[in-house]
Amino acid sequence: MATMSSVTDADISEYIARFHTHECAENQASSVLTKRIRAPVETVWSFVRRFDNPQCYKAFIKSCSMTGELKVGSIREVCVVSGLPATTSTEVLEKFDEENHILSYRVLGGEHRLQNYSSITTLHEDVIDVTAASLMIQIKPSMAKGRPFVEMWSLNVYRPKAKIV
């Protein structure tokens, strides 16, 4: 097991390649965002696992409603903060692995410009302070001008609203 002081860029690249490599078709793009979080993985997972309450760590989400249990196939309706080119998003939980700290979801619809959007977030306890998230999205020709929306969406993913003690 690697310790925080012995982790190399190659170690991190190996973890990212294992979970965050996407096969993109024409008119698709993918992105990977990594974040070093100096907190125990179980503490971080207690926030990230909240498919039913993503606003506890995603600053761009105003509210979320989900009915039923937290399990693969669960559907949530997310309302985003004003100022983004979106208002709502309907999303389905595709992978939920408590033991390996993996959460993946796909956007089904909503009032936004995303098409074929999916995201996977993994926490790596053997590299205690690395969290990675990746996404794949269909690109509309109108999105190719200027800064793509997908960059703004992914850059905001890890602004914690909750204090980790």
Write down the pLDDT at residue 79. Answer: 95
67-76: pLDDT as tens digits: 889 999 999 9
**β-strand pairing of 61-66 with 102-109:** unpaired
Please, which pLDDT band fits residue 138 given cuts at 50, 70 and 90?
low
Query: Ramachandran region of residue 137, left (φ > 0), alpha (ψ -120 to 50) or beta?
Result: beta
Measured CA to CA, the distance from residue 109 to residue 88 in angstroms comes to 8
Taking residues 130-150, report their average pLDDT. 49
Residue 32 has pLDDT above 50, yes or no: yes
Write down the pLDDT at residue 97. Answer: 95
Structure tokens at 43: 């503490």
List, in order of start, the domains of the chain with CATH numbers. 4-155 (3.30.530.20)
